[in-house]
Amino acid sequence: MAPSSGSTVAAVAAPLPRAEFQPGALAPYTGAARRRSRRVREAVIAGVLRVCAFSAVAGLLLIVVFVLREAMPVLFDAATRKEASLRAYFATSMWQPVGDIPKYGILPLLVGTLKVVVAAMTFAIPVGVMAAVFASEFAPARIREMLKPAVEMLAGIPSVVLGFFALIVMASWVQSVTGAHSRLNAVNAGLALGLGIIPTIFTVSEDALRAVPRSYREASLALGASRWATAWHVTLPAAGAGVAAGILLGLARAVGETMIVLMASGNAAIVSGDLLDSVRTLSASIAAELAEVVVGSPHYSTLFFLGAVLFAATFIINVFAGLFVERLRKRLAGA
């Protein structure tokens, strides 16, 4: 390889014969031909950029197609359906996918997900929304400038670190306060999960509150309403759709979040109403079990089916959140 490339270099380096200037020699670089090649190049680039933009659509479609493809046997494959089908999922309330007679009752996973999400939202909604109201309505500029980076830092903490903190540190605090039997339970996971979604709720709500025109507040204050009454009866209702969107986006994240619940919830698949019991969620089941299953087995298809359920649930919530954002935009644009 080396000698041949050397000779190429030599050929290039050799002095070129001096060309006589001929009229018309520059023709390809001027006039119609040049314009045409330029137009072609522009069109090609526009096409390439269009393809790049389409990658987002393609990505979303591929996710739907390929998660469903692996989940399909649950609905259509006779051999799989003997063990894992929609009926089997609700025929038992036991989730024991590994064993001589595997049981695929998804009820404990649904209950577990619900309990963790309820705990997380109960914590995150009041804190997130109230802090947003504080930041946009009451806080002096200097304090707001300190609050926002703190929230951004919270948002920047990876969920595995929050899971670690809940598992190693927070669980003991929570247990000593609540007196729970199991160190890892729905409350512990819910608190950590709440921490994970507070930034979402805060940021979206605060943006919405700040988008409310000043004139609304001034009118209310001029009528003699207190600052709290103005915030509660005027600003918050005006930004209501945005706050709702923030809560929905937080909800979607809470439903789908994996590492925090996987590490902090204890992962016991039990059906109970007690928030202090250990719980196993849909997302944690996928994360904990998929690495060990045989590809194509009923268990494998079932986990993909659970993934499809998670995708559908979060997708619907996100679409609704999008509608609320749209409504807020229209409302404030009309104001």
- Residues 73-132 touching another protein, rule: CB under 8 A, are 126-128, 130-131
Within 13 A of 198's CA, how many CA atoms are on the CB side? Answer: 27
DSSP result, 297-317: SHHHHHHHHHHHHHHHHHHHH
Alpha helices, DSSP H, located in the chain: 2-13, 31-71, 73-76, 78-83, 86-91, 107-133, 141-156, 159-165, 171-178, 186-211, 214-222, 227-230, 236-238, 240-256, 259-264, 282-289, 298-334
Based on CB atoms, which residue is closest to another protein, 89 or 123? 123
- Rounded CA gap, 61 and 71, in Å? 15
CB of 15 to another protein, least distance (A): 33
Under rule CB under 8 A, how many of the chain's residues touch another protein? 93
CB of 319 to another protein, least distance (A): 7
| Single-letter amino acid code for the residue at 129 | V
Q: Is 268 in the site for another protein (CB under 8 A)?
A: no
Going 94 to 96 to 101 to 102, the CA torsion angle's sign is positive
Within residues 5-64, the interface with another protein by CB under 8 A covers 38, 41-42, 45-46, 48-57, 59-60, 62-63
Site string for another protein, 204-243 (x = CB under 8 A): ----------------------xxxx-xx-----------
- Rounded CA gap, 189 and 260, in Å? 7
Based on CB atoms, which residue is closest to another protein, 107 or 127? 127
Q: Is 184 in the site for another protein (CB under 8 A)?
A: no
CB of 252 to another protein, least distance (A): 5
Q: Is 310 in the site for another protein (CB under 8 A)?
A: yes
Q: Which of 187, 252, 279, 328 binds another protein (CB under 8 A)?
A: 252
Identify which range of 94-102, 111-119, 174-182, 318-326 contacts another protein by CB under 8 A.
318-326
Identify which range of 20-28, 81-89, 108-116, 317-325 contacts another protein by CB under 8 A.
317-325
Based on CB atoms, which residue is closest to another protein, 270 or 287? 287
Residue 257: burial class (beta carbons within 10 Å; 0-12, 13-18, 19+): buried
